[in-house]
Amino acid sequence: MDARSLYSTLALDGPPLFFPDPPAQITFNFDQGIAAQESFPIEELKELAGRVLDRDGARALEYISFGHDDATGDIIYLPSYVELVLGNTGLREELARWLGRRQGVAGLGPDNFIVTSGSVQAIALATMAFVNPGEGVLAESASFPYATRFLQMRGADLRTVDIDDQGLVIESLERRLEEFRRDGIRPKLLYLIPTFQLPTGAVLPEDRRRRLLEIAEEWDLVVLEDSIYADLRYDGEPVPSLLSLDTSGRVIQSHAFSKVMAPALRLGWMAGRPDMIEALAAVRQDLGVSQWLCRLMAAYLAEDRMDAHLESANAIYRRKRDIAVAGVLEHCGEWVDFTVPQGGFYLWLRMRDGVDWEKAQHEAVMGGVFCRPGERFTDSADSGRYLRLAFSHAPEHELRRGIEVLGAAITNAAKG
């Protein structure tokens, strides 16, 4: 049987999900942007997981929250079926409190949140909820491949907006919108990562954010703000989120515990106006995420542990970023250009002319170093000259040694 002959066109036609493994054993993995294992609050999570089970008993292991009469031990059936689609109410309440305070957004409550399996699910749901096949969507010209994949699989007309070292270029956004108008296509949604952009690390300045929101208003766009790296700041002052600047309720913001705590929690969310969030609930095709983990993270937030955790995690990443930057300057500095990011997990390196990048890449891989090639993020003409070095996960000694090996490979390819 040829299984592929049974595939739906959707399953057959999507852009590739997986890429071939590197051709050699990887010792220095700078490929995936993953939270550092040494930052995982294992003892706290162990203690809280047990405490939540002691406190809530079987209720923590249900699909949805039931009330409980402590005197009789009876279950009280509350109208909590909404949790099947929106997720645990307690976590949504705590997210509203934490995010509202951190981003300065007043008036948030549980109805402003849907809890999802990581933030990728939130992005996928938004795609289905707001975009019809054939409608126009916009993303930065280098972006998160899963998000652009979802948009393409939805059958949207995806066009890209130029970026510079401060993120999305407003004039380019206006040009693309005009092009849609000229082509008779309704532009519907703009997906962007305004803070510690993936892969460049750029932060969109406040004046561009304000202008972007005016344009979104003018063109009646949904703005999907991917906020996954925004709390991972190592220097500089925070810039207001799009969600906090939005006055018309057209910004929806995806976020998750994946990068700021641990990916295996698989807990993400979308925040936005309740009637915007309802659209995501309407297209959801599962029965929610783990009540137990939601209750655990609700307790974590309720006990105000998150900000302290972020501070210690950010200290780890600041050190790693500094080691990576120093290593690249010392070993590859002559051959690459990059901007030191103020946050996030990556260095976005551009090879200067004169480096045979394919040769450098091959030699680096044979030396056990793997970075993610630029063409995974962008199809711009010079994508082949870029690589993304993720510094977040590797231990410090591997970062030092691996970048030395990478430097040797680039130098050889430049001289040869």
Ligand X SMILES: Cc1ncc(COP(=O)(O)O)c(C=O)c1O
Cα–Cα distance list, 65 to 77, 94, 238, 290, 353 (Å):
9, 15, 36, 11, 60
Alpha-carbon dihedral angle through residues 193, 330, 351, 15, given to the nearest 10 degrees: -40
- Of the candidates 328, 388, 334, 340, the one whose C-alpha atom is nearest the C-alpha of residue 361 is 388
Q: Do the strands 28-30 and 136-140 form a parallel or antiparallel pair, or are they unpaired? A: unpaired
Of the pair 80, 166, the CB lying nearest ligand X is at 166
Looking at 1-9, 67-75, 113-121, 179-187, which segment touches ligand X (CB under 6 A)?
113-121
Between 65 and 197, CB nearer to ligand X = 197
Q: Does 374 bind ligand X (CB under 6 A)?
A: no
Q: Amino acid letter at 224?
A: L
Q: Which of 167, 268, 272, 288 binds ligand X (CB under 6 A)?
A: 268
Is residue 263 a contact residue for ligand X (CB under 6 A)? yes
Angle between helices 306-331 and 396-415 (to 10 degrees): 30
- Which residue number, 268 or 368, has a Cβ lying nearer to ligand X? 268
Rounded distance, CA 151 to CA 229, Å?
A: 21
Q: Does 258 bind ligand X (CB under 6 A)?
A: yes
Q: How far is the CB of 197 from ligand X (least distance, A)?
A: 8
Question: How far does Cα 96 stand from its chain's mean position?
Answer: 19
Using CB under 6 A as the binding rule, whether residue 227 contacts ligand X is answered as: no
Q: Is 226 in the site for ligand X (CB under 6 A)?
A: yes
Question: Does 343 sit near ligand X (CB under 6 A)?
Answer: no
**Which residues have C-beta within 8 Å of that of residue 270, sequence separation ≥ 6?**
113, 114, 116, 119, 122, 125, 126, 252, 253, 254, 277, 280
Distance CA 45, CA 150 (A): 32
Is 151 or 332 the residue whose CB approaches ligand X more closely?
151
Nearer to ligand X, 331 or 372 (CB): 372
Options 119, 148, 253, 378; binder of ligand X; rule CB under 6 A: 119
**Does 269 participate in binding ligand X (rule CB under 6 A)?**
no
**Best CA proximity match to 355, nearest among 405, 411, 408:** 411
Q: Which residue is nearest to ligand X (CB)?
A: 118
Is residue 118 a contact point for ligand X (CB under 6 A)?
Answer: yes
Our CB check for ligand X shows the closer of 163 and 198 to be: 198
The residues that touch ligand X, with contacts defined as CB under 6 A, are: 33, 118-120, 144, 193, 198, 226, 228, 256, 258, 263, 268
